[in-house]
Structure 1
Amino acid sequence: MFSPFGKITAEDFLWHTRGPKRGEPRGYAFVQYTSKEEAQLAKEKMNGKLVCGRPMVVHLASEKSSMDSGDSHRAFKDKKLTGGSASKSAQTNRAAKIAAIKTS
C-alpha cells in the first residue's frame, strides 16, 4: 500500500506476542522511506484511507512524540505506519519505542 510514495528502506509490523491474540497483528506498523518528502507524501495520501472498513491514521513519527529527533523522516500509522531515514540515536529511540509498544 505504501510503496507508490517512495523507496521503502525498512518496515516493521508489530504482532501480539502473548495472550489470546498471540500472533495477530497489533494494528501498528512502521515504514521507513529514504526521504522526509516521501514520508510526507505517504502521510498526505494515506491518512484517512479505508483499510478493512476502518480509516487509517498516518502521522510522521516526529509529530507523535517530541522525543523523536527533528531530522527523523518517519510517518506513523495509528494503526500506525512510519517512513524515513534516521540517525543511530533515532534508531535506538525507535527500538525502545517498539519494545515499549510490544510489552503493553
Structure 2
Amino acid sequence: MEPNSLNGENSDKRIYVGNVDHRISEATLIKMFSPFGKIESEDFLLHTRGPKRGEPRGFAFVQYSTKEEAILAKEKMHGRLACGRPLVVRLASEKAVIDTSQNLSKGSGVVISSRSGSTSGQMSRSAKIAAIKNKLKTLEENDSRSAKKQKQLEGSSP
C-alpha cells in the first residue's frame, strides 16, 4: 500500500468492505472482488487482543488499479449477500469523509494484514482507526435497535 493511499489520487481507487462474516477469509475476499478489476492491495483487519485475537474483524479495504474498477466493485457488491450477510461497500474516500468527524481518542486494538508490504503513513493510520471506530459504533447501534425490536415483538405477543 502506498504511504498516502487514503489521500489524494489513491483514495478514489480504494473501497471499504464492511459487514464481512467471520467465515470469509482473506483469499475468499480477494476472489469475490477480483472480477471487477486488478487488485493492487487489500487490508484485511484482524483482532489483536482478547478472546478473538487473530480472527477477522469484519471489514477490509481493497485498492484497485483504477477509479472505474473501484466504482464498479462498489456498484456490483454493495448489498450482495455473503454468508447470509449483506456487504457494505463504499469508496474509501466516502468512508474517510464520514470518519473524520468521529472521535479518535481511544486505541483500536486492530492489526492490518496488507498484501502490498509497505507501511502506511500517520494520516493513513488515523483514517484506518477512524474507520474501525465508525464500524464499531454502527454495529453497536444495530445491536441496540435489534434488541429494542425484539423486546417490542415479545411485548406484543398475546
| TM-score of the aligned structures, taking structure 1 as reference length | 0.68
The answer to whether structure 1 residue 23 and structure 2 residue 54 are counterparts is yes
User: Residue in 1 aligned with 2:4?
Assistant: none
Structure 1 gap ranges (5+): 69-90
Q: Does the 8 A contact of 2:96 with 2:127 survive in 1?
A: no
Please give the secondary structure, in 2, of the residue aligned with 1:66. Answer: helix
User: Residue in 2 aligned with 1:12?
Assistant: 43
- Following the alignment from structure 2 to structure 1, what is the Cα–Cα distance between the partners of residues 98 and 84? 32
User: Residue in 2 aligned with 1:98?
Assistant: 128
- Tell me the amino acid that sits aligned with residue 3 of structure 1: S
Structure 2 gap ranges (5+): 1-31, 100-119, 137-158
Please give the secondary structure, in 2, of the residue aligned with 1:63. Answer: helix
Instruction: State the percentage of identical aligned residues.
Output: 69
- Tell me the amino acid that sits aligned with residue 34 of structure 1: S
User: Residue in 2 aligned with 1:33?
Assistant: 64
Which among 47, 64, 84 is matched to residue 78 of structure 2? 47
Q: Decide which structure has greater helix share.
A: 2
Shift of the alpha carbon at 1:99?
4.8
User: Residue in 1 aligned with 2:89?
Assistant: 58
- Following the alignment from structure 2 to structure 1, what is the Cα–Cα distance between the partners of residues 53 and 124? 22
- Following the alignment from structure 1 to structure 2, what is the Cα–Cα distance between the partners of residues 29 and 22? 16
Shift of the alpha carbon at 1:58?
0.3
- Tell me the amino acid that sits aligned with residue 43 of structure 1: K
Larger Rg: 2
Q: How many residues align?
A: 81
Q: Decide which structure has greater strand share.
A: 1
Aligned-residue Cα RMSD (Å) equals 2.3
| TM-score of the aligned structures, taking structure 2 as reference length | 0.46
